[in-house]
Amino acid sequence: MNTASRQVTDFFSSVAPFEGLDSDMLTTLARRAVGLYLTDTNADDLTSRYRQHLFVIQSGQFVIHEADEPVRHVSEGACFGYAMLLDGVSYPLRVEVNEPGLVYCIDEVQFSELLEVSTVANFFQRLGDDELQQQAVTRSESVWLYRSLSEVVQRAPVMVNEQATIVEAARVMTENGVSSLLVTCGEAVVGVVTDRDLRSRVVAREVDVGQPIATIMTRSPVVISEQDTLFDTLATMSERNIHHLPVVDTATGKPVGMVTVTDIIRQQRGNVLFIIGELAKADCLYTLTRAAWQLPHYFATHARRPGDVDIIGRVLSQATDMITRKLISFFEQANGPAPMPFSWLVFGSQARQDQTLGSDQDNGLLLADTPTDTQADYFQSMGTYVCEGLAKCGIKRCTGNIMASNPALRLSLDAAVKDAQGWVSEPASTAIMHCNIFLDVRTVAGDLDLFETLQRRRAPLFRQRLFLAALARHASEAAVPLSLFRRFVCEKDAQGRDVIDLKVRGVAIINNIVRLYALAEGLTMPSTLSRLKRLSGQSELSLRDRDNLRDIWLFLNRLRWRHQLQNNLTDNKVPLSELSAIEKHQLKAAFRAIEIAQEGAVMAFSGGMR
Amino acid sequence: MNIWSRCCKWFSANVPAQWRNRLWQDVPLLAVDLELTSLNANTCGIVSAGWVAGQGGDIQLASASHRVVNTPSPLKQSPVIHGLTDRQVAEGAPLEEVLQSLLPYARTHMWVMHHSTLDWGALNRAFERCNIAIPGVVVLDTLDLMVYYLKKRYQMVPHDAVSLAGCRQQLGLPDAPAHNALEDAIATLQVWYALFEQLNGRNFMQVDDFLHTRAIKYKKIGRK
A112, exposed or middle or buried, with CB in 10 Å at 0-12, 13-18, 19+?
A: exposed
A411-414 — which CB contacts under 8 Å span 24+ positions? Answer: A411/A364, A411/A365, A411/A366, A411/A367, A412/A366, A412/A367, A412/A368, A412/A369, A412/A370, A412/A371, A413/A366, A413/A367, A413/A368, A413/A369, A413/A450, A413/A453, A413/A454, A413/A457, A414/A370
pLDDT at A142: 30
User: How many angstroms separate the CA of residue B1 from the nearest CA in chain A?
Assistant: 30
Beta carbons within 10 angstroms of residue A344's beta carbon: 24
Query: How far apart are alpha carbons A561 and A502 in whole angstroms?
Result: 10
Q: At what angle do helices A285-292 and A271-281 cross, to 10 degrees?
A: 170
Q: Please report residues of A whose CB lies closer than 8 A to that of B62.
A: 2, 31-32, 34
pLDDT digits (tens, 9 = 90+) for A132-141: 433 333 333 3
Query: How far apart are alpha carbons A108 and A260 in whole angstroms?
Result: 51
Interface pTM (ipTM) of the complex?
A: 0.87
- Candidates A335, A342, A266, A317; CA nearest to A529 is A317
Which of A12, A31, A32, A42 is the best residue to mutate to test the B interface, defined by the most B CB atoms within 10 Å of its own CB? A42
Give a three-class secondary structure readout of A434-471: HHHHHCCEEEEEECHHHHHHHHHHHHHHHCCHHHHHHH
Average pLDDT, stretch A404-413? 91
- Domain covering A471-606 in this structure, CATH number: 1.20.120.330
- Candidates A28, A211, A204; CA nearest to A113 is A28
Average pLDDT, stretch A264-291? 73
Q: Residue A98: pLDDT above 90? A: no
> What is the sign, positive or negative, of the torsion defined by CA atoms of A447, A450, A452, A458?
negative
Higher-confidence residue: B195 or A152? B195
| Arithmetic mean of pLDDT over chain A | 84
Which positions in chain A have a beta carbon within 8 angstroms of at least one beta carbon in chain B?
A: 2-8, 10-11, 30-39, 41-42, 45-46, 49-50, 58-59, 99-102
Beta carbons within 10 angstroms of residue A188's beta carbon: 12
- Candidates A225, A232, A302; CA nearest to A257 is A225
User: How many angstroms separate the CA of residue B106 from the nearest CA in chain A?
Assistant: 19
Q: Residue B224: pLDDT above 50? A: no
pLDDT at B5: 58
- Candidates B13, B106, B92, B4; CA nearest to B45 is B92
User: Percent of chain A, pLDDT > 70?
Assistant: 91
Q: Residue B182: pLDDT above 90? A: yes
> Residue A584 to residues A64, A104, A125, A559, B19: CA-CA distances in angstroms?
20, 20, 17, 11, 47
Contact assignment for B58 to A4 by CB distance below 8 Å: no
Contacts of residue A114, Cβ cutoff 8 Å, sequence gap at least 6:
A18, A21, A25, A29, A106, A120
pLDDT digits (tens, 9 = 90+) for A533-568: 888 777 788 888 888 898 899 889 888 888 888 888
Query: How far apart are alpha carbons A319 and A388 in whole angstroms?
Result: 16
pLDDT at A358: 80
pLDDT digits (tens, 9 = 90+) for B5-21: 555 555 555 788 888 88
User: How many angstroms separate the CA of residue A100 from the nearest CA in chain B?
Assistant: 8
A410-412 sheet: strands from edge to edge: A410-412, A363-367, A342-347, A441-446
A6 to chain B: closest CA residue: B183
User: Percent of chain A, pLDDT > 90?
Assistant: 28
Integer-rounded Cα Rg, in Å, for chain A is: 30
pLDDT at A131: 39
Q: Please report residues of A whose CB lies closer than 8 A to that of B63.
A: 2
pLDDT digits (tens, 9 = 90+) for B20-33: 889 999 999 999 99
Which letter does DSSP use for residue B16 in this model? -
Contact assignment for A35 to B203 by CB distance below 8 Å: no
Q: Residue B47: pLDDT above 50? A: yes
pLDDT digits (tens, 9 = 90+) for B119-144: 888 888 888 888 888 778 999 999 99
Cβ(A387)–Cβ(A363) below 8 Å: yes
- Candidates A212, A183, A178, A218; CA nearest to A197 is A218
pLDDT at B90: 81
- Domain covering A269-459 in this structure, CATH number: 3.30.460.10
Which of B59, B167, B180 is the best residue to mutate to test the A interface, defined by the most A CB atoms within 10 Å of its own CB? B59
B63 touches chain A (CB under 8 A): yes
User: How many angstroms separate the CA of residue A35 from the nearest CA in chain B?
Assistant: 5
How does DSSP assign A71-117, residue by residue? Answer: PEEE-TT-EESHHHHHHT----EEEEEEE-EEEEEEEHHHHHHHTTS
**Closest in A6, A38, A58 to B177, CB measured:** A6
Query: How far apart are alpha carbons A587 and B181 in whole angstroms?
Result: 38
Query: How far apart are alpha carbons B83 and B62 in whole angstroms?
Result: 24
Average pLDDT, stretch A437-465? 87
A28 to chain B: closest CA residue: B62
Query: How far apart are alpha carbons A399 and A360 in whole angstroms?
Result: 8
Q: Please report residues of B whose CB lies closer than 8 A to that of A59.
A: 172-174
Higher-confidence residue: A295 or A547? A547
CATH fold for the domain made of B3-219: Nucleotidyltransferase; domain 5 (3.30.420)
pLDDT digits (tens, 9 = 90+) for A380-404: 999 999 999 999 988 888 888 889 9
User: How many angstroms separate the CA of residue B196 from the nearest CA in chain A?
Assistant: 10
Beta strands in chain B (DSSP E): 29-36, 46-55, 58-68, 110-113, 137-141, 216-219
| Domain ranges across chain A | 6-130, 153-265, 269-459, 471-606
Q: Residue B3: pLDDT above 80? A: no
Query: How far apart are alpha carbons A420 and A582 in whole angstroms?
Result: 44
Average pLDDT, stretch A47-67? 88
Q: Residue B223: pLDDT above 70? A: no
**Closest in A6, A39, A99 to B180, CB measured:** A6
Q: Residue A290: pLDDT above 80? A: yes
Q: Residue A89: pLDDT above 80? A: no
What is the SS3 assignment for A218? strand
A106, exposed or middle or buried, with CB in 10 Å at 0-12, 13-18, 19+?
A: buried
How many residues belong to chain B? 224
- Domain covering A153-265 in this structure, CATH number: 3.10.580.10
What is the SS3 assignment for A247? strand
* Side-chain-facing half-sphere of A234: CA atoms under 13 Å: 12
pLDDT digits (tens, 9 = 90+) for A326-364: 999 999 999 999 999 999 999 988 888 888 888 889 999
A581 residue type, one letter: A
The mean-pLDDT minimum among A149-153, A520-524, A556-560, B51-55 falls in A149-153
Q: Residue A59: pLDDT above 60? A: yes
Q: Residue A190: pLDDT above 80? A: yes
Q: Please report residues of A whose CB lies closer than 8 A to that of B201.
A: 41
How many residues belong to chain A? 610
Contact assignment for A3 to B182 by CB distance below 8 Å: yes
Contacts of residue A159, Cβ cutoff 8 Å, sequence gap at least 6:
A181, A182, A183, A184, A189, A255
The mean-pLDDT minimum among A288-302, A352-366, A457-471, B196-210 falls in A288-302
Which letter does DSSP use for residue A267 in this model? I
Q: Residue A272: pLDDT above 70? A: no
CATH fold for the domain made of A6-130: Jelly Rolls (2.60.120)
**Closest in A7, A31, A35 to B183, CB measured:** A7
Buried b (16+ CB within 10 A) or exposed e, A580-606: ebbbebbbbbbbebbeebbebbbebbb
